[in-house]
Amino acid sequence: MDKPSNQKNKVFAKKEVNPILKTTQEIAEKIAQHPDCNTYMPLSAGIESTAALLYAVKDPDMKPFCVHWYEQRYGLFADAMAFYTQKQAEYFNLPYGNDRSMLSMLPYTQEVPIIVSGLSSFMSMCIAQPGGIKFKWFMMGANAEDDMRMRLQFREYRKIMATYVSDSLDGTGVDLAKTIDGIPQVINPLDFLTKAEMYALIIREAPELLDTIWSCIAPKGTLKDRDGKITGYVPCGECFKCAELLHAKKQAADAVFRYQEGVKYFTTILKDMEGS
């Protein structure tokens, strides 16, 4: 995950505690309350994880538990992602946990990428015994244009977990039964789609979610109702993530598909582009 360059090395130590945030332990306890859940569904409110969420919701075998890896250091950007990922989980009435374990906040580290702290927290929950989570799948939302880093990182984490549960010092001793039983498969079921194609998928499958997509790394502020309750965040419209989103929308609007399918798709995306 990218971070705003102007916030480099800055630590945001907020006084008030966001009540939706949980420690890894609290997340594990919450997952235990949902024994039917079999899918760990990390959400960032970006296009890719939103598309992956749609897949998990529509797949009859998957019962997702939604998790957002909260990173306090990112300030308003982190709050916006926490806000919109919770909205997405609520939209589908799914259990949700907002992990604030924040391993990267250790005082002696300058920077630990959120993917590392998030995966460490996930790994801890999987291999913790007793009480480790029993999930079949770990959902991933990279698009066809993304680089290989995330995919490769996941592979090594699974290997660490598999050798651990097998009590083996290297991969030659991996216990198949224990791996099947204890180590979730990482799946990236829409990795053949570009960002724009995923955006179009969201328009067709759940246009209501368009208002919950968030990717701006430098929000300008919050929207509040009369009671002072936050109802949304304002994107900057200038950062590279805002540019990526706009580009995806334009590409989706230019799709050949709209000529095949006609009015509804086209009007939906035009409406959304007016709002961006």
> Which residues are near Zn ion by CB under 5 A?
216, 235-236, 239, 242
- Cα distances from 165 to residues 155, 160, 174, 240, in angstroms, run 16, 9, 8, 41
Q: Which is nearer to Zn ion, 141 or 219 (CB)?
A: 219
Of 273, 257, 63, nearest to 265 by C-alpha is: 257
Least Å distance between CB 43 and Zn ion?
19
Q: Which is nearer to Zn ion, 150 or 236 (CB)?
A: 236
Least Å distance between CB 5 and Zn ion?
12
Asked whether the beta carbons of 11 and 105 are under 8 A apart, the reply is yes
User: Using CA atoms, how far apart are residues 81 and 57, in angstroms rounded to an integer?
Assistant: 20
Least Å distance between CB 79 and Zn ion?
14
User: Using CA atoms, how far apart are residues 125 and 189, in angstroms rounded to an integer?
Assistant: 23
Least Å distance between CB 276 and Zn ion?
11
Q: Which is nearer to Zn ion, 64 or 235 (CB)?
A: 235
User: Using CA atoms, how far apart are residues 136 and 39, in angstroms rounded to an integer?
Assistant: 6
The three-state secondary structure class of 169 is coil
User: Using CA atoms, how far apart are residues 197 and 114, in angstroms rounded to an integer?
Assistant: 26
Least Å distance between CB 221 and Zn ion?
12
Q: Which is nearer to Zn ion, 121 or 215 (CB)?
A: 215
Q: Which is nearer to Zn ion, 165 or 217 (CB)?
A: 217
